[in-house]
Structure 1
């Protein structure tokens, strides 16, 4: 289980979200909702251990987590197959054949990543999730550049591969992915300017 208690996180030294609490049991997903700039990315980066929290507690094994942002994280000079093999080498795993079908990459296997369209690059980038085999995924707008068909592919992977095998996903998105998942509106957790001192103090 992922458990978050009274978490306060900051961007540029200034608190953006405060007293955030939730839990996500194994096999479930949580969708983060909120206006642009409210702090969805900041929260995900804090949960993933990429930046420190100002206060509060996160109960998760960082060795089991992975964070994926808008960047595709691919090497243009490598083929699709070589890119996936690269990530497998880093994480000490293999490349399941299902990754190619889950993300519609089978016909692109020998294509150089630099020649792919934006949507194809995004599918390849998301294909990493099927290679790294981390239990807890923190995903920031994962469907950017994807058409409806590809969004459905991604949702099917999360629901039927990741969650069905006991994984956890926390996803920031503005669209309906069609997942069976709870939603968390971050508006009630928006930090007041003086939550942890004035805005001027935050930069001292």
Structure 2
């Protein structure tokens, strides 16, 4: 059984744009005057040494933090104008696992669906988990899983979430070579179906239509 990430988009062209962003942390200016545009079917790989502001940039793009100057626009509208609408179309994964340790893999996926306010049928939840190696393990508590297995639950969430824009902070951390290939395949499907992806990674990524932003 396959799970469609989403069937179609309502708008012919989706776009995330940052205009003249400036970011200060403490007394340090991480970047200023930063501009970027990502459109439907594109992937942006944000690179740079530790501490240059990669995670800070992602937080600005998600609306979780406010820039010192500049603005972020989704489909030509400031994300500050209607944050709830923007967040319904956004999937953000940070580099720390946000899973409930006392719940099972399946229960975590179902909980995410409730928090994200969309209906996730049980068969689709199971199909997503099985795709990423959880057949027979879907009812194990997350506390019993390895770091790599926990990341695979998050990959199942990416598959089922139906978000148009993915913003991913170091998504390849703790993954073995096979899981890296699985995740690259998942991101490839997303952009080929008209989605947008922005990610940070210290390693090279093998993705279609990927552009690089060096901070």
TM-score range, shorter chain: 0.7 to 0.9
Which is worse superposed, 126-135 or 76-85?
Answer: 126-135
- Verify: 1:83 aligned to 2:108, yes or no: yes
Task: Output the CA distance in 2 between the equivalents of 1:110 and 1:73.
Answer: 18
Alignment correspondent of 2:18: 4
Residue of structure 2 in register with 1:173 after alignment: 201
SS at match of 1:129: helix
Q: Which residue, 24, 30, 44 being the options, matches 2:44?
A: 30
Deviation at 1:101, TM superposition (A): 4.1
Contact 1:102 1:153 in 2 (8 A): no
Query: What corresponds to 1:194 in structure 2?
Result: none
Q: Which runs of 4+ in 1 moved over 4 A?
A: none
- What's 2:8 paired with? none
- CA distance, structure 2, for counterparts of residue 121 and residue 156 of structure 1: 18
- What is the aligned-residue RMSD (CA, Å)? 1.6
Instruction: For 1:125 and 1:77, locate their aligned partners in 2 and report how far apart those are by CA, in whole Å.
Output: 16
**Counterpart in 2 of 1:159?**
188
- The Cα of 1:14 is off from its aligned counterpart by 3.5
When normalised by structure 1's length, the TM-score is: 0.84
Distance in 1 (alpha carbons) for counterparts of 2:168 and 2:62: 10
Residue aligned with 2:46, SS: strand
**Inter-CA distance 56–118: structure 2 relative to 1 (3 Å threshold):** same
Q: TM-score, normalised by structure 2?
A: 0.80
Distance in 1 separating the partners of 2:183 and 2:22: 30
Contact 1:10 1:42 in 2 (8 A): no
Shift of 1:107: 3.3
User: How far apart, in 2, do the equivalents of 1:105 and 1:59 lie?
Assistant: 38
Q: Aligned runs of 1:1-204 on 2, under 5 Å?
A: 1-12=15-26, 14-60=28-74, 61=79, 62-63=86-87, 64-93=89-118, 94=120, 96=124, 97-160=126-189, 162-180=190-208, 181-186=210-215
- TM-superposed CA distance for 1:18, in Å, is 1.0
The CA deviation string for residues 57-110 of structure 1, in whole angstroms up to 9 with x for no partner, is 211152322321111111111111111011111112215354224422233211
* Contact 2:47-2:214 at 8 Å conserved across structures: yes
8 Å CA contact retained: 2:165, 2:196: yes
SS in 2 for 1:72: coil
Provide structure 1 residue ranges, at least 5 long, that are not aligned to the other structure. Answer: 187-204
- The residue aligned with 2:10 is none
Report if aligned partners of 2:106, 2:129 keep a CA contact under 8 Å in 1: no
